Amino acid sequence: MAVIADREGAYAPPVREENYLTWDHSIKSWLFTQDHKRIAILYLISITVFFLLGGIFAMLFRIELLTPAGDVFEADRYNKFFTLHGVIMIFFFLIPSVPATLGNFLVPIMVGARDLAFPKINLASWWVFNVAGVFALLVLVTGGVDTGWTFYSPLSTSYANTSVFLAVTAAFAAGFSSILTGINFIVTVHKMRAPGLTWFRLPLFIWANYATGVVIMLGTPVVAITLFLIAVERLWGVGIFDPALGGDSVLFQHMFWFYSHPAVYIMILPGFGVISEIIPCFSRNRIFGYPFIAFSTLSIAILGFFVWGHHMFVSGQSFYTGMVFSFLTMFIAAPTAVKIMNWTFTLHGGNVIMTTPMLYAIGFIGLFTIGGVTGLFLAAMGLDVPLHDTYFVVAHFHFTMVGGMAMAFFAGIHFWWPKMIGKMYPEFMGKFACIIIFTGFNLTFMPQFIVGWLGMPRRYHAYPEEWQVLNVMSTAGASILGFGFLACIACLIWSAFWGKPAKQNPWGAKGLEWEVCTSPPHPHNFTSIPVVTEEAYSYTGEEVLDID
């Protein structure tokens, strides 16, 4: 790729061979860094802590569900466990997962810029996130919260006597940090692309993060104000949403889901972006139907705002509104299916190389398809009535969020690990952990589809005896899944210290981050701003792996 001369004196040129990890070792240079790459690493550490914390709560309530009777934990404690699992996993892991780590790291590099448009705001985003995290930890030490992650009123406003106020504050602040990231991405993609980098030469990861930014910007403030109203109602003792005091709890659900349905696209769209990078790379094939994937990303982001009522078919939403929402929800399956088809066609005729990221990506396609198709069951208004609030719903969104998003997240982390850290992870261990995760995942959630279909409601700590076999399978699977995640994280952390140094382009991949940046990148990404002369994914099939 050609390069142009740099603007003179724009920054001090490096004195010696250094990268963004090594140029300054002080703690201060990390905590107050404005370098998007370091902020990505900081975020990675923060969300890993919350991921493990959320996982611990999942294990605790899975243990309770081993036996039909509510014998290990009393109902209150069980309620707190699943609530904390939900709040932490959604607001502190899934929403920031890919955008705040891989997105922060890669968006400026992929568009050929030196940093995001607002580096200070990017740093502020991480600090706000940690303040939110402190509130979340305060929830833990003050006795937890038991409303479910949805904070439905009047349970959250009038009946719960737990730390609802702290929990909504934590979610509010976490949302605010994601808004800052989202705005940064949109401005960067619009205004900071390198010369020659037209919209249709952008990697699809950029399209995905751009669309995510739009959803974050337009959706998150609504949940912020809704949670604020919940906090006001609790503190002030007035009825905004509590029907007993003249409010309307259906209004709460409307405002909550106006954000929280699009929020699932905040979680999954960046995952789509990751998969769109990995599949062509390890198929050694141009991506099939680039513009279709790009526009399906945007249309998911926009359509996603028209379907929130499918969460309210049985909560007092009017009948005709429900029909409209049911109809619109069916629509959104189309652009998602377009993506799945295009990835599959990219594999077709390609020279497929089964590395760890590719294993995760293939797993993603299978699991996400199951998650998406079962979503259509729930979008059908009639079928949702018996299935609503059963384990079928739980299994559905875990297939999309864990089978989809967590798989995509780990795919991306493995794929860009050599670039971010400059070390290779041990390939065998990576694949081993991936297979364990895949097995454990299916064993956990497949039985939940069945037990949900049989009618087991979610959020109860006891159940009839005939469902015990399926629940034991699920708990066993959860243990395997937890072990897989630990193995994966341990393997990555080990390799960060003792792994083999990575070459500049170990995968033979296309893209500015591989072809121009060193591993790990220079503190200012590029010694001079690149000029892009070709499309993304111009694989010829000749690329070779460059690993010792």
Residues in contact with another protein by CB under 8 A are 7, 10-11, 108, 113-119, 121, 179, 183-184, 186-187, 190-192, 214, 217-222, 224-226, 229, 232, 236-240, 243, 246-251, 254-255, 258, 305-306, 308-309, 315-321, 524, 529
User: Out of Cu ion, another protein, none, which partner does residue 221 contact, by CB within 5 to 8 A per kind?
Assistant: another protein
* Cβ 217 to another protein shortest distance, Å: 5
User: Out of Cu ion, another protein, none, which partner does residue 218 contact, by CB within 5 to 8 A per kind?
Assistant: another protein
| Helical axes 249-283 vs 204-236, angle rounded to 10° | 160
User: Out of another protein, Cu ion, none, which partner does residue 199 contact, by CB within 5 to 8 A per kind?
Assistant: none
User: Out of Cu ion, another protein, none, which partner does residue 250 contact, by CB within 5 to 8 A per kind?
Assistant: another protein
Output 46 or 226, the one with its CB closest to another protein: 226
User: Out of Cu ion, another protein, none, which partner does residue 261 contact, by CB within 5 to 8 A per kind?
Assistant: Cu ion
Which candidate, 296, 271, 215, places its Cα nearest to that of 102? 271
Which candidate, 298, 276, 274, places its Cα nearest to that of 210? 298
Strands (E), 297-337: none
Which candidate, 270, 276, 215, 217, places its Cα nearest to that of 100? 270
Which residue type is seen at 96?
A: P
Output 145 or 378, the one with its CB closest to Cu ion: 378
Output 240 or 361, the one with its CB closest to another protein: 240
The residues that touch Cu ion, with contacts defined as CB under 5 A, are: 261
User: Out of Cu ion, another protein, none, which partner does residue 247 contact, by CB within 5 to 8 A per kind?
Assistant: another protein
**Which H or E run contains 501?**
strand 500-501
Query: What tokens were used for 78?
Result: 């069980």
Q: How many residues does the chain have?
A: 548
Output 310 or 423, the one with its CB closest to another protein: 310
Query: What tokens were used for 525?
Result: 């990404």
**Which H or E run contains 121?**
helix 119-141
Is 165:139 a contact under the CB 8 Å cutoff? no
* Cβ 154 to another protein shortest distance, Å: 8
User: Out of another protein, Cu ion, none, which partner does residue 240 contact, by CB within 5 to 8 A per kind?
Assistant: another protein
DSSP calls for 412-434:
HHHHHHHHHHSEEPPHHHHHHHH
Position closest to Cu ion via CB: 261
* Cβ 329 to Cu ion shortest distance, Å: 7
- Strand, coil or helix: what is 94? helix
* Cβ 240 to another protein shortest distance, Å: 6
Q: Which residues contact 9 (CB under 8 A, 6 or more apart)?
A: none
Output 382 or 548, the one with its CB closest to another protein: 382
* Cβ 304 to another protein shortest distance, Å: 11
Output 239 or 366, the one with its CB closest to another protein: 239
Output 222 or 424, the one with its CB closest to another protein: 222
* Cβ 220 to another protein shortest distance, Å: 7
Residue 542 main-chain phi, psi, to 5 deg: -95, -10
Distance between CA 269 and CA 152 in Å, rounded? 26
Output 183 or 405, the one with its CB closest to Cu ion: 405
User: Out of Cu ion, another protein, none, which partner does residue 147 contact, by CB within 5 to 8 A per kind?
Assistant: none
What spatial distance separates the first Cα and last Cα of the chain, rounded to whole Å? 25
Output 316 or 464, the one with its CB closest to Cu ion: 316
* Cβ 369 to Cu ion shortest distance, Å: 18
Q: Which residues of 431-464 are buried (b: 16+ CB within 10 A; e: fewer)?
A: bbbbebbbebbbbbbbbbbbbbeeebebbebebe
68 DSSP assignment: S
Distance between CA 15 and CA 88 in Å, rounded? 43
The alpha carbon torsion through 491, 496, 501, 502 (nearest 10 deg) reads 80
User: Out of Cu ion, another protein, none, which partner does residue 251 contact, by CB within 5 to 8 A per kind?
Assistant: another protein
* Cβ 334 to another protein shortest distance, Å: 20
100 DSSP assignment: I
* Cβ 352 to another protein shortest distance, Å: 38
Query: What tokens were used for 176?
Result: 């605010």
Q: Which residues pair with 390 in a beta bridge?
A: 457
User: Out of Cu ion, another protein, none, which partner does residue 114 contact, by CB within 5 to 8 A per kind?
Assistant: another protein
Output 175 or 371, the one with its CB closest to another protein: 175
Q: Please state, as a whole number, how many other Cβ atoms lie within 10 Å of the Cβ of residue 28.
A: 8
* Cβ 391 to another protein shortest distance, Å: 23
* Cβ 393 to Cu ion shortest distance, Å: 10
Output 226 or 518, the one with its CB closest to another protein: 226
User: Out of another protein, Cu ion, none, which partner does residue 76 contact, by CB within 5 to 8 A per kind?
Assistant: none
